[in-house]
Amino acid sequence: MYTSHRRNMEPENNMEKLLVKAQPNGITKYDGDAVEIDLEGGSDKQSGSVLSAHKICYEIAVKNKTCCGRSVKKKILHDVHGIFKPGMNAIMGPTGSGKTSLLDILAGRKDPQGLSGEVLIDGALPPSNFKCMVGYVVQDDVVMGTLTVRENLQFSAALRLSRSVSVKERNDRIDNVIQELGLSSCANTKVGNEFMRGVSGGERRRTNIGMELIISPPVLFLDEPTTGLDASTANAVIHMLRSLSQRGRTIIFSIHQPRYSIFKQFDRLMMLSQGQTVYHGVASQSLQFFQEMGYICEEHNNPPDFFLDVINGDVTCLLSVENKEVKEEMTVNQTLAEGFRKSKWHKELMMEVQPVYSQFKEESENGGVVRMERVEYATSFLQQFVVVAGRTLRNILRNPHAAMMQVFMMLLFAIIVGAVYFQLDTSAASGIQNRVGAFFFMVMNQIFGNLSAVEIFLRERSMFMHENVSGFYRVSSFFLAKVFCDLVPMRLVPTAVFSSVVYWLIGFKNGASHFFFFLLNLFLTTLSATSLAFAISASIQVRAVANILISLSFVFMMLFSGLLINLGSIGEWLTWAKWISIFRFSLDALCINELKDQEFCDEKLEGNITQICVTGNSYLEQQDIAYVTGWDLWQREAALFIMSSLFLFLTYVQLRRIKKLK
C-alpha cells in the first residue's frame, strides 16, 4: 500500500531531489529537479510521484437557451476517484466525457470555481501554483518554429532551471533529454513554421515534450499526444513515453481512440463516460471488466474502439442474460458506472485511495503540514527579459521576410509620394494645400499601415499562455521584450527609411531640427497606432473582429483630424473626440513644424506686377491650431507619447487578465 512522506531538500550526486518530510512551516522550495518517492515503505525508489484524486466534482455555468438566457449548472465530472502511479496512466473516453477537464484538474490548470474534491501529490496538497512544477504538453504545438530543437530546449532550461544549476549541468541535461527523446539527428534543425520547412510532426511533438522534461517534473501531463500524427508517428511517440515511464516517470495523458499497438503500452487506464468513471485499473484487465458486464469484444476488434462503441451505445455486442434487464432500465453509461462501483476493480481502487486521504485528513486535523510551499520563479525578472528578448530578436532575424517586406514597402511608398509631391512650390494657391494634403496622406499611411500589429499577440497567444502558466516567465518580462525588441525596431526602422526619402523629395522646410522633428512625429504616430493595435489584440481573440475594431477606431480618429471638418464647427457634445484622435495631434504638429512663419506668394500681372502672399500662420489660426510658443508644438508630441503609454499599459493589463486557466 502507498505510504505518503513529507519533503525535505537532500543533495545526491550534485542533484537536489525532493523528498517528503513533516515540517511545521511547510515544504521546502521545489527547484525543478527529480522527485523521489518511496512505495510500500520499502527500498524500491523511483523518480516520480503518486497523484491521487478524491471525490472530484466539477460543474460549469452554461446559458440555457430555453430559459431567457439564464445560466444553469452543467456537471462535467461526478465524484471521480483515481490514483496515478509512476508509469503510463491513460485517461480515455468519448468526446465530451470530461477527460481533458480531469487532466487539467489534476495538473492544477482548471479554474477552481465549480470544483470540489482534493488532488494530492504524495499525500499532500500541491502548492497553489502546482502547474509550474509539473510538465504539461498541450495538444497544439507551442514551440518557436524559427529556432532549432536544441535552442527551444535551451530556452526552457534558461528560464526554468535555477541559478544553482551550472551551465555545464544545464547543457548536460539538454543533451540527455535530446538523447532520451531520440532527437539527436535533428537537434540542430529548425522546428519550422508555415513559412519554412522543419522537423517532422513526431519530432515536433517530442520537442514539446522535451521542453517539459528539462525540469525533470514529478508528473508529466499530456493532452492528446497523438492528435494530428499518422499511425506510425503516433506509435513512436507513445513508445518514447513508455520508455520514459519505465525509468520511473509518472506520465498521465488523455487519449481518444488509440490503435492496439498503442493501447497495449498502457499500464493503468481510466475510462470516463459523461463525467463518470466506468473503469479504473490495470489496462490489460479492462476487457475482463467489460466481459463481466456482459459486453464481449469480438476477435480482431481493437479494444479501444470496442470500449468507445459500448460507451456510445452503438455496438451490437453480446449481453449476458442477467444484464439485459438492467440495460433496459438504465442507459449504457449508467450501467457501466454502476457496474464499476460494484466491481472488484473499484474496491481495489478505494483500498489504495482511502488510506492516502485518511492520512491526509488526520494530519490536517492535527495541524501538520498539508500543503507544499508555493513554487517561485526559478529565474529573476532581468534574466527572463534577456532570454525572452533574445528569442524575439532571433525570431525576427531568422524570419526576415516580414521585416524586409515592410521596409521595402515603406521605401516604395516614399518614392511614390515623393514623386507625386516632388519639390512642392511655395505659391499661395497650392503651397499650403499640397503640404497639408501630403501630411494627411503620410499620417494615414503610418496609422493604417500598422493593422498588421494586431496579429502579434494573436499569433503567439497560445504560446504565451502556455509558457506563462507553466512558469517560464512573468507577464512583464514577455511584454517588455515585445515592446523593446519587436515594436520599436520593427516600427522605427521602416519609419526612418520612409522619412529620410520622402522629406527631401517633397522639399519640406530645410534644417536638421525640422527633419528630426518630422521623423520623431511619424515615429510617435506609428507607436501610438501600434500600441492601440496591441491593446486590442491582447483583448480580442478573433482576428477578424480585432481588425474590424481597430479599423473603425482609426476611421473615427481620422474624422476628427481637423482636415475633413473644421473642429470649431462641430457640436459641443462631440468636441471630446478630438482629444483622442492620433490624426489630429500628428497633423497639427506637422503643420506647425512646416508652416509656422513661412510665406507662400503668387505673382499676378494686372498692368503693374503685384504679389499675393499668404502666411502659414494665418492658415494655422484659421484651423484653430495654437502655434505661438514652443510648448504649442511639443504638447502634440507629448500627447502622442502619453497615448502610446496608456495603450501599452492597457495591453499589459489585458495580458495579465487573460484567462490562462480553463
How much is the pLDDT for 314? 63
Identify whether the C-beta of residue 94 lies closer than 8 Å to the C-beta of residue 311: yes
pLDDT at 29 exceeding the cut of 50: no
Distance CA(513)–CA(521), nearest Å, equals 12
Q: Which ranges of 342-460 would DSSP assign to H, the alpha helix?
A: 344-365, 381-398, 400-420, 431-448, 454-459
Distance CA(591)–CA(393), nearest Å, equals 36
pLDDT over 90 for what percent of the chain?
Answer: 37
Q: Indicate the burial class of 382 (C-beta count within 10 angstroms; 0-12, 13-18, 19 or more).
A: exposed
Per the structure block, which three cell numbers stand in for 433? 494645400
pLDDT at 457 exceeding the cut of 90: no
Single pTM value for the model: 0.80
Identify whether the C-beta of residue 324 lies closer than 8 Å to the C-beta of residue 109: no
**Nearest Cα to Cα of residue 149 among 175, 110, 97, 188:** 188
pLDDT-derived band at 444 (thresholds 50, 70, 90) equals: very high
How much is the pLDDT for 73? 82
**Separate counts of helices (H) and strands (E) for the chain:** 23, 15
How much is the pLDDT for 648? 93
pLDDT-derived band at 11 (thresholds 50, 70, 90) equals: very low
Per the structure block, which three cell numbers stand in for 135? 510538465
How much is the pLDDT for 606? 58
pLDDT at 97 exceeding the cut of 90: no
Neighbours of 24 (CB within 10 A): 7
Across the range 199-210, mean pLDDT stands at: 89
Q: Per-residue pLDDT tens for 303-341?
A: 999 999 888 876 555 444 344 444 444 578 888 889 999
SS3 107: coil
pLDDT at 269 exceeding the cut of 90: yes
How much is the pLDDT for 603? 67
How much is the pLDDT for 515? 94
pLDDT-derived band at 657 (thresholds 50, 70, 90) equals: confident
| Helix 303-312 with 332-341: angle, nearest 10 deg | 110
How much is the pLDDT for 607? 55
Which segment of 1-5, 139-143, 207-211, 578-582 scores lowest on mean pLDDT? 1-5
Across the range 147-161, mean pLDDT stands at: 93
pLDDT at 35 exceeding the cut of 60: no
Per-domain residue ranges of the chain: 381-657
Q: Which ranges of 449-511 would DSSP assign to H, the alpha helix?
A: 454-459, 461-469, 475-482, 488-506
